[in-house]
Structure 1
Amino acid sequence: MTSVKDLLDILILDQLSENNFEGKSEPVGSPNVFGGQVLAQAINAAYRTINNGRVLNSMHAYFLEAGNLNVSIEYQVSIMRDGGSFSVRRVTASQKGIAIFILSASFHKEEKGYDHQIKMDPNIVQPEDLMSWTDILEQFGDMLPQKTKAFLEIPRPIEFKPTVIPNPFEKKNLPPYADIWFKLKGDTSKLDLATKQKLLTYISDYNILSVAIQPHASKAHWGNLQTASLDHSMWYFRDFDLDDWMLFSLESPSTSNARGFAKGNIFTRDGKLVASIAQEGLMRPIIK
């Protein structure tokens, strides 16, 4: 995948019956299905059963089993409620009859009300002054660890620019914070809100667990940890445009019991808070 068009080809599902859909997978560097893909495909399935113009306001999901990249994923939508203001859908994703993922999503009608938000860091380094993953690969590819280099070599429809690039050879614990700019490749000017939410959901599963590893970086890294997303929640606040850089501001309040917890906020470049995310992931040390 090299553009937003390629990504949407994966996220938009085939319809099997009224509330039953099917999707294919695309590798992003892991031997298993990328969690962001399943999240976004499930949102696509849920949205396909909303016929009253309501907009996604939150979702909560659990990853039950690792997804097989070579097997199609079936999404079954259950209509839980269509109330006066909110609609709720439950989505179960399965492969060969085994549930690998469940999601609950809430959709809300447009309403007027109070409005406030936290502010984005006004001193954040702008993306024009930062290196992207592509730049890092081009300039330092031969010096990177083989696994890191292989991960960066995979074509992606998104460009990422972290404000701080940790040295992979420096065994030093880091603060549990990270700020990462991201931008989709290709034309995003004519996308409706539902499509933009699916894309944002896909992107939200990138980078988030990394911040929980950082405070343990003197010992822990992707090569000596068994990691997996356990759950993922997301709240959608405002409409937004995807044609400029957006900021994913992350922190990890806690890591314990072989699990890491991370949360984050996504801002537009001009400081509009678009969404908040929370995730807990497995961080099990591999004993050799």
Structure 2
Amino acid sequence: MNTESVVELLGKVPLLHRLTSLSLKRIAQVVVFKRYERGDYVVRRDEEVEGVYFLLQGQAQVLGSAGDSSEFLLKPFDFFGRGIFGNVYSADVVALSQLTCLLLMSHHCSLLETNPISDPDKDLDTPCLVERILSLDPLDLTLFRGFTIPNAPTFGKVFGGQLVGQALAAATNTVESTKIVHNLHSYFLLVGDITIPILYEVHHLRDGNNFATRRVDARQKGKTIFILFASFQRDQQGFDHQESNMPHMSPPETLVTREEMIERRITDPLLPRDYRNKIAAEKILTWPIDIRFCEPSYYTEQTKSPPRLNYWFRARGKLSDDQALHRCVVAFASDLIFACIGLNPHRKKGMSAAALSLDHSLWFHRPLRADDWLLFVMVNPTSFQSRGLTTGEMFNRKGELVVSLTQEALLKEAVTIKPIFGAKL
């Protein structure tokens, strides 16, 4: 086949729909034809994978897959390779008929990249995106204006962590620098609109010798969409003990980033074809928080899994030594996946669901750095009717408990979920 014919065939592969015609042509020039007879193993479990396979003719079967077997039947224009973590494969793939594949060798797989993953070591020397997200315009002594900048995480509405982090930043700006936030309690009232600014009005509830208390009302279109209460304390000597133990987890340097994990899941045949095609068609954005999941999984948004999660995280970029800033960044990051784990035991094929935060609380126990690795251990102990409770702990690399968290969320099942500017209930 000539290059033009291969380009035409590759253009029908969902994984490649996000690439330009020039990228497709480059791939067409380096792919290798592979042919198999019925019963031949294309790839064996636990073996090194040569690269990414694109099926052109015939069918193949993923062996040992659970669930609907039709979801794991590989057909023309399907794709697989490399597995979820590393180049060691996670499944047996066998030809069901005469099979023809195009193979993009591992050393050419960079041609598939549309969004280069940022270098975590380089991130340490660059300004923090999350710091720009949390920056506010002072309009008065107790009034601040925040924005949803174009590359901030959004989910069709203002991200809850943005509201928590910006509101805490507003409160911090009204407290003397010797007092640092030690706890906060917040309530999400209305869905925020990402297209307009957010006004944060700070109320002085208390100013004592050692403690200060603030309430922050976040408003859009004349309505209060979010409320935060925060307590600040001057540094004081006291008792020190810790009963919570950090679970043993692999070091974050040995784990792949969230973005890399998503890219690798796209080519894993142990995941349903529809799920992989959906992810392949989406643009993967790099979050301002670097997340490294501790345990690989084959779970999707429509398969049941335990209501718990562990991951390391840190801000991308270098932060100043201001402890108040680090706590605002942790407040921002704490809501990224927290509420969603309450849905895990209830997921099923065809279900569309959402977790909407109702309230969110943090207790800061010890000094921390948000630009160094923190282990986030979270579990949802119970859900009933429409609400789920999630608790969490954050540890630094020395095993010190630095933050405790709780959140209650509204867990909803719906045919379609359309974020609107209005009440959550």
Q: Establish whether TM, by shorter chain, passes 0.5.
A: yes
1:142-181 superposed Cα distances (whole Å, 9 cap, x missing partner)? 5654665677711212111111233245965322221111
Aligned to 2:357: 229
Report the alpha carbon displacement of residue 270 of structure 1 after superposing the two structures with TM: 1.4
Mean alpha-carbon deviation: is it higher for 192-201 or for 43-52?
43-52
Aligned to 1:204: 334
Q: 1:176 to 1:220 in 2, by over 3 A?
A: farther
Aligned to 1:34: 159
Mean alpha-carbon deviation: is it higher for 7-16 or for 236-245?
236-245
In 1, the alpha carbon distance for the partners of 2:225 and 2:278 equals 27
Whether the 8 Å CA contact 1:261–1:280 is kept in 2: the answer is yes
Q: Does 1:24 align with 2:155?
A: no
Indicate the SS of the match to 2:410: strand
Whether the 8 Å CA contact 1:118–1:273 is kept in 2: the answer is no
In 1, the alpha carbon distance for the partners of 2:280 and 2:321 equals 33
Indicate the SS of the match to 1:153: coil
What percentage of residue pairs aligned between the two structures are identical?
33
Normalised TM-score (structure 2): 0.62
RMSD of aligned C-alpha atoms? 2.4
Q: 1:171 to 1:14 in 2, by over 3 A?
A: closer
In 2, the alpha carbon distance for the partners of 1:231 and 1:42 equals 14
Report the alpha carbon displacement of residue 268 of structure 1 after superposing the two structures with TM: 0.6
Q: Does 1:48 align with 2:182?
A: no
In 1, the alpha carbon distance for the partners of 2:281 and 2:377 equals 25
Aligned to 2:78: none
In 2, the alpha carbon distance for the partners of 1:6 and 1:256 equals 37
In 1, the alpha carbon distance for the partners of 2:390 and 2:227 equals 20
Aligned pairs (5 A) from 1:121-160: 121-141=246-266, 144-145=275-276, 148=279, 153-160=284-291
Aligned to 2:398: 270
Q: 1:15 to 1:29 in 2, by over 3 A?
A: closer
Aligned to 2:136: 13
In 1, the alpha carbon distance for the partners of 2:178 and 2:282 equals 39
In 2, the alpha carbon distance for the partners of 1:149 and 1:38 equals 30
Mean alpha-carbon deviation: is it higher for 256-265 or for 151-160?
151-160
Larger C-alpha radius of gyration, 1 or 2? 2
Q: 2:325 aligns with which of 195, 202, 219?
A: 195
May I ask how many residue pairs the two structures share in their alignment?
285
In 2, the alpha carbon distance for the partners of 1:170 and 1:255 equals 18
Report the alpha carbon displacement of residue 244 of structure 1 after superposing the two structures with TM: 2.8
Whether the 8 Å CA contact 2:342–2:390 is kept in 1: the answer is yes
In 2, the alpha carbon distance for the partners of 1:234 and 1:152 equals 32
Aligned to 2:313: 182
Report the alpha carbon displacement of residue 5 of structure 1 after superposing the two structures with TM: 2.3
- Letter of the structure 2 residue corresponding to residue 25 of structure 1: T
Q: 1:113 to 1:240 in 2, by over 3 A?
A: same
Q: 1:181 to 1:51 in 2, by over 3 A?
A: same
Q: 1:82 to 1:283 in 2, by over 3 A?
A: same
Report the alpha carbon displacement of residue 182 of structure 1 after superposing the two structures with TM: 0.8
In 2, the alpha carbon distance for the partners of 1:92 and 1:286 equals 30
Q: 1:226 to 1:157 in 2, by over 3 A?
A: closer
In 2, the alpha carbon distance for the partners of 1:236 and 1:178 equals 20
In 1, the alpha carbon distance for the partners of 2:349 and 2:405 equals 24
In 2, the alpha carbon distance for the partners of 1:25 and 1:150 equals 25
Aligned to 1:282: 410
Report the alpha carbon displacement of residue 17 of structure 1 after superposing the two structures with TM: 0.7
In 2, the alpha carbon distance for the partners of 1:149 and 1:259 equals 32
Structure 1: state its 5+ residue gaps: none
